[in-house]
């Protein structure tokens, strides 16, 4: 199994939502050298899921309030097809960004007048991408109504559609809702037990 790059965002195809790349800048530049070394160890042990996750947990425990670490955690669980944990870390990124942008902690209460979402400052872009990532992972968990509610907020705050929310809505609502997903729903929890608790 090929190890994805947890540090660098993956490019999005034109017209598609970049739901797993959080911002076209290297957030890893803000990570401690020790953390970057641990990322290299994770890369080399990607096939050993238990060891790789233990290293990720060490990174999280070492700097849980760092945005870069939260993004590392999101990308790790996303690429592991563990959408419950990925949804949790998407919300964790949203929480961190909401504090810096002085936005309500409940994303439902955010309106377009509260931040300059149209010009895509790094933090506002990350905020929208985190919300889109949360919607995507809810859809992979089969929580379609919740996913579409979140996606509606993305569409409200991004009327120009730069995040591709309209395309995601088509994917989520078609008869085979996993077509067009990065990982089809049939692979949810692949090689891992399905978790049952709710992300928070």
What is the number of structural domains in the chain? 1
d(CA 138, CA 116): 26
**What dihedral do alpha carbons 107, 108, 111, 112 form, nearest 10°?**
60
The tens digit of pLDDT for each residue in 74-98 reads 999 998 889 999 999 999 999 999 9
In a domain? residue 163: yes
Q: pLDDT value at position 39? A: 81
Residue at 12 is within a domain: no
For 79, the token pair is 């690429």
Structure tokens at 101: 């942008």
DSSP reduced 3-state for 16 = coil
Task: Answer whether residue 126 is part of any domain.
Answer: yes
Residue 78 within any structural domain of the chain: no
Is the pLDDT at 1 greater than 90, yes or no? no
Chain segment 25-59, per-residue pLDDT in tens: 455 556 777 777 878 888 887 888 898 899 889 88
64 domain residue, yes or no: no
User: Which pLDDT score, from 0 to 100, does residue 20 have?
Assistant: 42
Question: Is residue 130 scored above 80 in pLDDT?
Answer: yes
Model confidence at 190, in pLDDT bands (50, 70, 90)? very low
Res 188 pLDDT > 80: no
Whether the CB-CB separation of 197 and 83 falls below 8 Å is answered with no
> For residues 181 and 140, is the Cβ–Cβ distance under 8 A?
yes
Best CA proximity match to 47, nearest among 1, 90, 107: 1
Q: Is 62 domain-assigned?
A: no
Half-sphere exposure of 101 (CA within 13 A, CB side): 27
189 pLDDT band, cuts 50/70/90, is very low
The string of DSSP letters for 158-196 reads: -TT-TT-HHHHHHHHHSSSTTTT-SS-GGGTTTTSPPP-
In this prediction, residue 172 has a pLDDT band, given cuts at 50, 70 and 90, of confident
Domain assignment of residue 183, given as a range: 90-187
Average pLDDT over residues 132-150: 93
74 inside domain: no
Query: Residue 49: how many CB atoms within 10 A of its CB?
Result: 14
């Amino acid at each position: 199994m090929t190890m994805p790059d947890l540090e660098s965002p993956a490019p999005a195809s034109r017209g598609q939502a970049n739901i797993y790349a959080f911002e076209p800048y290297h957030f890893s530049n803000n990570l401690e050298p020790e953390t970057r070394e641990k990322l290299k160890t994770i890369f080399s042990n990607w096939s050993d899921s238990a060891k790789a996750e233990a290293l990720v947990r060490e990174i999280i425990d070492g700097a849980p309030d760092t945005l870069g670490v939260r993004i590392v955690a999101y990308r790790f669980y996303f690429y592991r097809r563990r959408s419950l944990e990925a949804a949790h870390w998407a919300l964790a990124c949203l929480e961190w960004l909401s504090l810096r942008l002085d936005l309500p902690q409940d994303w439902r209460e955010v309106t377009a007048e509260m931040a300059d979402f149209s010009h895509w400052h790094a933090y506002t872009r990350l905020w929208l991408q985190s919300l889109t990532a949360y919607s995507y992972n809810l859809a992979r968990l089969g929580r379609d109504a919740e996913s579409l509610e979140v996606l509606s907020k993305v569409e409200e705050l991004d009327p120009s559609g730069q995040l591709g929310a309209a395309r995601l809505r088509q994917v989520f609502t078609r008869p085979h809702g996993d077509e067009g997903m990065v990982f089809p729903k049939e692979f949810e929890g692949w090689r891992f037990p399905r978790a049952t608790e709710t992300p928070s």
